[in-house]
Amino acid sequence: MKQVYIDTSVLLAKWIPTDPYHEESKKIVEAVTTQRIIGIFSGLGLAEASSVIERQQGKFSLELAPDISLSAEYLKRIVMIPHLEILDIVYPIPTVIAGLNFELSIIYWQSLDLASKFHLKTLDNLHLALSVLLDKLKGRTIDYFVTADHEIVANAHRIKTEYGFSPMFPDQLVILEGL
Amino acid sequence: MLINLDETITSRLEREDIELLDKFIKMGLFANRSEAVRVILSKELKEIAKGQLKSDIQKSLELKPLLTEQELLTIGTRLFPSSVALHVAEGRER
């Protein structure tokens, strides 16, 4: 079964009918639920989803009961997706920079390497770093990194060559895996 | 898993706690007093740390969902008039 790292916007799109990948997101989540693919999400994704929901909520006036946190409601739905795995790697490792010793989480260390190679945004690097480390440290070889981020997909060939997994858009994954 | 044991500390314990520790060791829950104290202390420290982080959002997360899937779809349409990825990318630029 193929292991798929799901980027934040792709998963959130399941609850956003206006998103261009809404239908694909539903199919991907359905494939995770029925165990046709292994879906992997991250703590980083949860934090990012919470942030984008809260920021958007601040732009609109929604009539919600005061005890309801909208970002919490979306997060709950994400973690309730059957068989979706939420993984993280936060090992601190001893690091030396400019002769100074300190501890740095391995995900940041890996993202430094990615940043120097692909010139992507910070969170893009962190998501990719997690995908790389899941393979290196947990034996969870990622086959596909599904994202709606054009910059990541623009680097797909180089990322595949360097790290072994293919970044692609949701519609590409749906076609490729026949979801 | 390799554990770095950095430092030895001495602590006086109450008699009833020691008796309980020894009982758990006899039950096979821990190999010895040192391991028992290490494991229990580590677990308790993490709980205290978690308590320090407690916020309204974390309390909300512990509850069962209050909105239905359909309600989230309706709200989602209002929150994101277009692509979610655009807004996520905007956040990533920060």
Q: What is the pLDDT of residues A91-100, one digit of tens each?
A: 888 888 899 9
Token pair recorded at residue A92 = 């601190």
pLDDT at residue B3 is higher than 60: no
The values of phi and psi at residue B4, to 5°, are -85, 115
The dihedral sign for the CA sequence A60, A63, A69, A71: negative
pLDDT at residue number B57: 76
| Three-state DSSP class for residue B94 | coil
DSSP state of A98: T
Task: Residue A47: name the closest of A92, A114, A104, A107 by CA.
Answer: A107
Cross-chain Cβ contact B80/A77 below 8 Å: no
ipTM score: 0.82
Token pair recorded at residue B71 = 């309600």
User: Is B81 an 8 Å CB contact of chain A?
Assistant: yes
pLDDT at residue number B69: 94
Chain B residues inside the 8 Å CB shell of A71: 57
- C-beta of residue A59 within 8 angstroms of C-beta of residue B87: no
Chain A residues inside the 8 Å CB shell of B85: 9-10, 13, 19, 21, 147-149
The values of phi and psi at residue B7, to 5°, are -150, 145
pLDDT at residue B70 is higher than 80: yes
Cross-chain Cβ contact A20/B66 below 8 Å: no
Query: Do β-strands A92-97 and A100-105 pair in parallel, antiparallel, or remain unpaired?
Result: antiparallel
Optimal mutation site among B88, B90, B93, interface A, most CBs of chain A within 10 A: B88
Q: How far is CA A101 from CA A10, A93, A95, B80, in A?
A: 39, 10, 6, 45
pLDDT at residue number A50: 94
Cross-chain Cβ contact A72/B87 below 8 Å: no
Chain B residues inside the 8 Å CB shell of A74: 72
pLDDT mean across residues, chain B: 85
Which range, of A23-27, A161-165, B5-9, averages the lowest pLDDT? B5-9
Nearest-angstrom CA–CA distance, A73 and A75: 5
In angstroms, the separation between the Cα of residue A54 and the nearest Cα of chain B is 10
User: Is B41 an 8 Å CB contact of chain A?
Assistant: no
Chain B residues inside the 8 Å CB shell of A21: 83, 85
- C-beta of residue B88 within 8 angstroms of C-beta of residue A52: yes
Read out DSSP for B5-54?
----------HHHHHHHHHHHHTTS-SSHHHHHHHHHHHHHHHHHHHHH-
- Where residue B1 falls among pLDDT bands split at 50, 70, 90? very low
Residue of A19, A77, A121 lying closest to B80 (CB–CB): A19
In angstroms, the separation between the Cα of residue A106 and the nearest Cα of chain B is 17
pLDDT at residue number B94: 58
pLDDT at residue number B5: 66
Which residues, in sequence order, are CB contacts of A27 under 8 Å at separation 6+?
A174, A179
Cross-chain Cβ contact A60/B78 below 8 Å: yes
Percent of chain B topping pLDDT 70 = 90
pLDDT at residue number A150: 93
Nearest-angstrom CA–CA distance, A15 and A106: 32
pLDDT at residue number B58: 78
Q: Give B72's Cβ-side CA count (13 Å radius).
A: 22
- Where residue A64 falls among pLDDT bands split at 50, 70, 90? confident
A136-161: average pLDDT: 94
A3-32: average pLDDT: 97
A-B Cβ pairs (cutoff 8 Å, strict): 106
The dihedral sign for the CA sequence A68, A72, A75, A80: negative
